[in-house]
């Protein structure tokens, strides 16, 4: 986040199809010590339209943070993340993956994504405050998304940034 974004509300894109999880996340974020604006995308296709400013989302504000569910209709979370990571205009937006189950956490572990880069739903207020505070303190430095065992070298050789997250523990 730049000085410019520090003086305005944090723009958050919440990509979540479950209305109950949307409400819970919005309530937690409203209780935050940070001013925020939340845009909700109910599936991965809508998320990408918002991010690219396409169709009815022309002129949409670029988010400072994306909260991304893994299980989504039409285009799932991993597909959205791949699209973000392959787009020069989106690749530097921080993404926090929201998980709802142990199986999803196991999947993230298989890709060598440390626990500090995903959050179990429902999101907790202190965790959210820590993320936004860290976001305001660090420059955006790309790091690679690990691949399942045996695939990391071929994934990294493509030269594209696969994952970004500047934060330490939870």
Q: What is the mean pLDDT of the chain?
A: 71
Give pLDDT tens digits for 6-51: 567 889 999 999 999 899 888 888 877 778 899 999 999 999 999 9
Q: Where are the domains of the chain?
A: 3-137
Q: How far does the chain reach from its first CA to its final CA, in angstroms?
A: 19
DSSP assignments along 103-130, one per residue: HHHHHHHHTT--GGGEEESSPPHHHHHH
Asked if residue 39 lies in contact with residue 50, where contact means CB atoms within 8 angstroms, the answer is yes
Strand order in the sheet with 36-41: 36-41, 10-15, 65-69, 95-99, 118-120
**Over residues 129-133, mean pLDDT:** 67
CATH architecture of 3-137: 3-Layer(aba) Sandwich (3.40)
Q: What is the CB-side half-sphere exposure of residue 93 using CA atoms within 13 A?
A: 29
* pLDDT confidence bin for 117, thresholds 50/70/90: low
Q: Which residue has the higher pLDDT, 169 or 64?
A: 64
For residue 163, the model assigns a pLDDT of 42
Q: Which tokens hold the place of 59?
A: 């002129």
For residue 74, the model assigns a pLDDT of 94
pLDDT reading at 57 higher than 70: yes
pTM of the model: 0.70
φ, ψ dihedrals at 15, nearest 5° = -105, 100
Strand pairing category for 65-69 and 10-15: parallel
Tell me what percent of the residues of the chain surpass a pLDDT of 90.
20
The 3-state DSSP class for residue 166 equals: coil
């Amino acid at each position: 986040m730049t000085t410019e974004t520090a003086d305005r509300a944090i723009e958050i894109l919440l990509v979540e199809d479950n209305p109950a999880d949307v409400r819970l996340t919005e309530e937690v974020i409203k209780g935050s010590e940070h001013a925020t604006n939340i845009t909700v995308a109910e599936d991965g296709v809508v998320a990408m339209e918002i991010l690219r400013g396409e169709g009815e989302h022309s002129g949409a504000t670029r988010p400072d943070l994306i909260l991304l569910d893994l299980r989504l209709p039409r285009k799932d979370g991993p597909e959205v993340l791949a699209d973000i990571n392959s787009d020069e205009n989106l690749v530097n937006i921080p993404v926090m993956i929201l998980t709802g189950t142990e199986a999803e956490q196991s999947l993230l572990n298989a890709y060598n994504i440390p626990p500090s880069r995903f959050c179990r739903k429902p999101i907790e207020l202190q965790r959210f405050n820590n993320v936004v505070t860290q976001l305001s303190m660090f420059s955006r430095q790309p790091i690679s998304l690990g691949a399942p065992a045996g695939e990391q070298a071929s994934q990294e050789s493509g030269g594209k940034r696969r994952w970004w997250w500047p934060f330490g523990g939870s």
